Structure 1
């Protein structure tokens, strides 16, 4: 794309309210948290972590507390206190009362201290802005620092690496960014930061044993009546056939038991098979709204498309598995439907369930339950033959008893047959219910074991999730890479850039976001605006950063004169999002959504969503961008010269305070 003409061109119209694709809030991780009674070292460490994460205001607060209030004074703490005061802002933005803080550590550092050279280098970087020379000495001083000191200087003194001879320092910063941009296996690990902490595996508990009211009483009464009637008939038959009647009684008892026992298995298998048929063939339902159930629906739809067998007809796969996927969806909604559960915390389970169905469908095992629950012929034969044997034994007893007392045995036989029949039915129902419950519990235990294994695999996969400091460092390297590309694109040297500013915003329409407790939001996709102020005007480079793939897939160039500025502001909308707006004399305003509005997840899981928004604004570079662009809008090109003039007083104050640190 060629440079535009002198008139303004607006390409960044992203103020539309597009929902966040997914988000996660990690915590507590204690990176930016101070305990109720922290030691000075702990307070300083939290401040240092905040500084390296780009949270300069929070870093200034914690490091100042450690140094001034807790008397944690040494070369290292003084160095980082100085960096925190200067990080991300110009000398004009440093209040006098913060400069005065340095006077509290007067004479605290010896010349032979390991951090003395780093502190002196900061002073030299400040004074070289006015001297316009000495870059060679600064380069040598930078070379003498440790890697830790050098990287922190290049990151937090970026605003002051602008003397006319300091291209070498920027080249060093760019080289450091190149080496660290893919460090620590970023391409494999970065995506894990946006995954929420998964919630543990659950299964819907087996339905409890349900026995109808009065069933136990009826079963006991009919059984007792059956025993009495059969016993009377048996005693009467014994008078006629002797030991043969005893054998018939035993055969009757054994036949009834065997028939009921095999009947219980027959019935249980049949009913379980029918239940699974209903489950697999149920009709999909439509869920309305945007709550937890709707989000689970989206997960199942997404993973059903993603894990569809490659060689199969996708439509056939979806149709044949619709019922079972619906049943699993309903189970997930039922067991995890809580006000504080983020739907993405159970995405691992949705993924596992759908993938498991796909594997079984592809292997032709989705309907294996029909074979497993088919009633064996041996069970059916045993049930029928045992019933026949019991009937034959009963008939023999009735026949034998009728020879002795026919008029009494006949009604007793009717009572015996009826009571045995009803007792068998009632005891069959009771035994089948207990059998069903035992089978359900065994099935649920197997399901839970499979889900636990899947959960453990997912936890292991997330074990090396990057921390927020790594994310901040990678993003800083991306900013440096963008700066280098912009300078190459516009064929600029460092001395050609009079001032610069970054704005980092989420790239719509779809992106993931996550944050640690008390930390800023990090995004999977960024829209980064870089403003380069040169003697000829403003060069604006807008790029889309895919943070996980480390690519800049989209780039737009815009140029405009200094007098094209009308106004610049950051406004909070009614929905709670913050929008950066730059108004030019010609064309539509440039609008960029810098922070998202609170969502249902942040409202339930985030302790301070408003505070997170403010922290994110700070790390997005918005305040420095506002300072620079507001100055240009008010004073035009003359702002640069005026800013240099206004910096003389705070520059002298800071330099004096820095030199006073040394004993």
Structure 2
């Protein structure tokens, strides 16, 4: 269907593609489920929650078990059992075996019960329709109810508010919907429902010390050989001149220690800077295709780096200069969280934090601070060189002094000592630098982990007031009421002019988020809502796109057609698991709306029952009543309305008798 505001038309088609931006499954929760050792009251509460969430079939099952099977009978439970039986369907759709449930609570309600007035009003609404003369006393009866009773009754009895006297009740329902539509801080909280439970902070562990047994053996052997040969040369020099030998040995020892220590600092800084330069270099990016985890992380980084471009910075320069860092961070996130059960959006908080940190450091001029921190200073270089020269000179004096006593043996020992000291220095230099690198890595990882944990805690606190599914259902119900009021104003209809109505709620194209709690239906961030109003002149169809998070609508489309203008209506499941509503007109293309999505990879790995989720979503989308109404009209035309009223007389009388029998 091409939505527009151009005015009525009889041609309708829909070729748009739907894409799911992200999804979340919240759980475990106890809103729609009960423990294995459940009490009757817990079962009743689960049924009540299902009813308020729009899941009438599940509500009926829970309430039947609580009230009929477990004998949890009181005025409140009888009222909600009655609402569950009537919610979202006509009396013609009410099977006799469910009416029998009401007979099981015969004489259970006292006239002075706080819920007696609510139950009597339900009966009054049933018996007042579809009389031409106005029913009296409805407004007064309605005023006696509590806010809880009024809200639930207006939500689940709207199919039966069709007499002229009930215009006032509809007006009240519309006003309440407009007030409650933004209640409970919806605009600041609704978006949080679509955020999945974030996964905890992680960092790659520091690489282990890469010093094998061979290096330790070689370092020990060369050190022992160096000590022996240098000791021999020193002992021989002592025989020649004690003062010179002692000074040379002390200078040689101090020079070697200072030069090795400076060399370790020089080496690990140089190697660490080179490693970071390689990590952040402009090498070709890793290519990922498809819709897997790595591809989604790619898109996250691309999106947030574009979104968080620093002020007064050319976006092209920003993306070019940070390409290496972006790729390194992306690779780290993919490595840390690439698990079959991880939804990429669960780590979006980390992506935002990492990109925001890069932006902050760029603006502070500290993006490349590691180069300053790891720069080998001139003083360090000079200290290393000068101490090495001092050690060499001291060693030379030591050899010269020893050669005066034993020239040949000292010459051979000097050569061996030089080679062993050189090898020993290189080996210990590499070992010490590796330990220094490991220590620096650990400190850096601890710092990174602390920052990420703080960011994770901030995000968790931000989601603390995430709305529950009952709040989402209430807001959506208010949106439907507001849409119906707009439609009636648009078509200049009064409530008695609307013989029947039906809603269909589907995810809107092209992009949307979706989320659900465990055992609950999918909720969408963007809806495509179709409203069918059956009047004496034909069908009025209004289609609007609803941004649920902002509670705004757009792209209104109006379509009017006669009762004989459409030939069939159906909901078909496609090969990939989608459920598509299709209404076929006699003079135009079929109206097609995708009501549920196919199971996705995330659903299959995180959702234990994706098929049940699809069925629950179909139930809350209003398809049951819509199909009943539209299929009847497609089969019988305008006469369906009169036939439906006639067919409802028997179940209406049965329900009324059962309701009246509740009172002792």
Provide the TM-score with structure 2 as the length reference: 0.98
1:165 corresponding residue in structure 2: 165
Cα drift, residue 363 of structure 1: 2.2
Q: How do residues 142-181 of structure 1 correspond to structure 2 at under 5 angstroms?
A: 142-181=142-181
542-551 vs 241-250, which moves further: 241-250
Q: Secondary structure at the match of 1:166?
A: helix
Q: How do residues 36-435 of structure 1 correspond to structure 2 at under 5 angstroms?
A: 36-133=36-133, 135-283=135-283, 284-435=285-436
Q: How do residues 514-663 of structure 1 correspond to structure 2 at under 5 angstroms?
A: 514-663=515-664
Distance 2:518 2:224 in 1: 69
Q: Secondary structure at the match of 1:338?
A: coil
1:459 corresponding residue in structure 2: 460
Q: Secondary structure at the match of 1:13?
A: coil
Cα drift, residue 377 of structure 1: 2.9
1:512-563 superposed Cα distances (whole Å, 9 cap, x missing partner): 0000000000000000000000000000000000111111111000000001
- Contact 2:349–2:456 at 8 Å: present in 1 too? yes
CA gap of 1:2–1:381, structure 2 versus 1, over 3 A, is: closer
Report the aligned-residue RMSD: 1.2
226-235 vs 212-221, which moves further: 212-221
1:31 corresponding residue in structure 2: 31
Cα drift, residue 385 of structure 1: 1.8
- For residue 4 of structure 1, the aligned residue among 1, 8, 14 is 8
253-262 vs 465-474, which moves further: 253-262
Q: Secondary structure at the match of 2:170?
A: helix
CA gap of 1:523–1:219, structure 2 versus 1, over 3 A, is: same
Distance 1:624 1:9 in 2: 24
Cα drift, residue 361 of structure 1: 1.5
Q: How do residues 467-506 of structure 1 correspond to structure 2 at under 5 angstroms?
A: 467-506=468-507
Distance 1:372 1:433 in 2: 18
Unaligned stretches of 5+ in structure 2? Answer: none
1:242-284 superposed Cα distances (whole Å, 9 cap, x missing partner): 1431232222122111111111111101111111111222322
499-508 vs 254-263, which moves further: 254-263
Q: Secondary structure at the match of 1:298?
A: helix
- Contact 2:7–2:557 at 8 Å: present in 1 too? no
Distance 1:2 1:395 in 2: 100
1:441 corresponding residue in structure 2: 442
Cα drift, residue 360 of structure 1: 1.3
Cα drift, residue 134 of structure 1: 5.3
Q: Secondary structure at the match of 1:583?
A: strand
Cα drift, residue 103 of structure 1: 1.0
1:16-72 superposed Cα distances (whole Å, 9 cap, x missing partner): 553311111111111111111111111111110000000000000001111112111
Distance 1:72 1:502 in 2: 33
Distance 2:640 2:499 in 1: 11
1:325-354 superposed Cα distances (whole Å, 9 cap, x missing partner): 000000000010000000000001111111
CA gap of 1:276–1:3, structure 2 versus 1, over 3 A, is: closer
- Contact 2:581–2:592 at 8 Å: present in 1 too? yes
Q: Secondary structure at the match of 1:463?
A: coil
Distance 1:135 1:541 in 2: 30
Cα drift, residue 482 of structure 1: 0.2
Distance 1:2 1:427 in 2: 82
Cα drift, residue 392 of structure 1: 1.6
Distance 1:243 1:436 in 2: 41
1:134-161 superposed Cα distances (whole Å, 9 cap, x missing partner): 5441111111100000000000001000
Unaligned stretches of 5+ in structure 1? Answer: none
Distance 1:469 1:400 in 2: 94
Q: Secondary structure at the match of 2:541?
A: strand
Distance 2:584 2:409 in 1: 110
Provide the TM-score with structure 1 as the length reference: 0.98
- Contact 2:308–2:359 at 8 Å: present in 1 too? yes
Q: Secondary structure at the match of 2:164?
A: coil
